[in-house]
Amino acid sequence: MEYVYAALLLHKLGKEVNEESITKVLQASGAEIDDSKVKSLTASLKDVDIEAELANAVVASAASAPAASADGAEAKPAEEAPEEKKEESTAGLSSLFG
């Protein structure tokens, strides 16, 4: 994940996203660096418009936000499943100890 964060940081700062710059960011953060992961990431991002992808990601996350009802109240989350009774959850443990 830190490799992607490094690439996003470089993009945000207007720097070139390449192997050398990603490696420098990772070294500065103290992360262990796997050169094959750096090469794989830079190859994957070679023809990608990061700005366009970020714009699509923001739209996708906004679309999944819960909608308000007609009267303006927020949608209520689904009820959680009732908790298992303590007795039921430990019933199998007694057979381990004879």
Query: Over the stretch 53-84, which tens digit does the pLDDT of each residue have?
Result: 888 887 766 666 666 656 666 666 666 655 55
Q: In percent, how much of the chain has pLDDT > 70?
A: 60
Q: Determine the pLDDT at residue 54.
A: 87
Whole-angstrom distance, CA of residue 30 vs CA of residue 65: 35
Burial class (CB in 10 A: 0-12, 13-18, 19+), 56: exposed
pLDDT in tens, 31-42: 999 999 999 999
pTM, two decimal places: 0.58
Handedness of CA 27, 29, 30, 31 (dihedral sign): negative
Whole-angstrom distance, CA of residue 52 vs CA of residue 33: 28
Query: Higher-confidence residue: 62 or 47?
Result: 47
Q: Determine the pLDDT at residue 57.
A: 85
Measured between alpha carbons, how far is residue 87 from residues 6, 80, 93, 94, 97 in Å? 48, 20, 10, 11, 16
Q: What single letter denotes the amino acid at residue 68?
A: A
Question: Mean pLDDT in the chain?
Answer: 80
Q: Does domain 2-62 sit in CATH 2.60.120.10?
A: no
